[in-house]
Amino acid sequence: MANPKGSVAERELVKMFWETGQWSALRIAGSGRMNFPSPDVLAGNGSQVFAIECKSTKHNIQYIEDDQIQQLHDFAKKFGATPLIAVKFSSKWHFYHPHEMERTAAGKHSIHKEKHADRKKEFIEIVNLD
């Protein structure tokens, strides 16, 4: 995310992981602007690691460039992490596996808040605290 709203959302997500008491997380500043793949957030609990691309929107749909998805996959594979897309729709976080996103005619990936509600995971499901 290359905007102030995005970095605020990334920091919020990092805080959510830490507040579980079981997960650690960090924000990777400058992700997306480096010459090598890197996610926005890395989170782990000693047995599981997530490489997370974060987005924040007030709209019902979020688009992500194909190269961002590919870089997330590349990083996650090399790091031994599970790739995730985290979208904050207004005030609620939704989590998706990248393969659950649809491909647009323009080659972008998209996720729709209502249309793809059956694909989302809640934070509590991601961190297995339920």
Q: Residue 53 contacts by C-beta under 8 Å, 6 or more apart in sequence?
A: 39, 40, 64, 68, 69, 72, 83, 84, 85, 86, 98
Tokens of 62: 């979020």
Positions marked active-site: 31
CA–CA dist 17, 4 (Å, integer): 20
| 38-to-32, 49, 58, 114 alpha-carbon distances in Å | 7, 14, 25, 29
Query: By C-alpha distance, which of 58, 61, 50 is closest to 97?
Result: 50
Cβ atoms of 115 and 102 within 8 Å: the answer is no
Question: What DSSP designation does 15 have?
Answer: H
- The string of pLDDT tens digits covering residues 36-59 is 888 999 999 999 999 999 999 999
CATH code, domain carrying 26: 3.40.1350.10
- The string of pLDDT tens digits covering residues 7-22 is 899 999 999 999 999 9
Tell me the residue range of the domain where 16 lies. 4-126
Query: By C-alpha distance, which of 83, 87, 78 is closest to 52?
Result: 83
- The string of pLDDT tens digits covering residues 63-104 is 999 989 999 999 999 999 999 999 999 889 999 999 888 888
Number of domains in the chain: 1
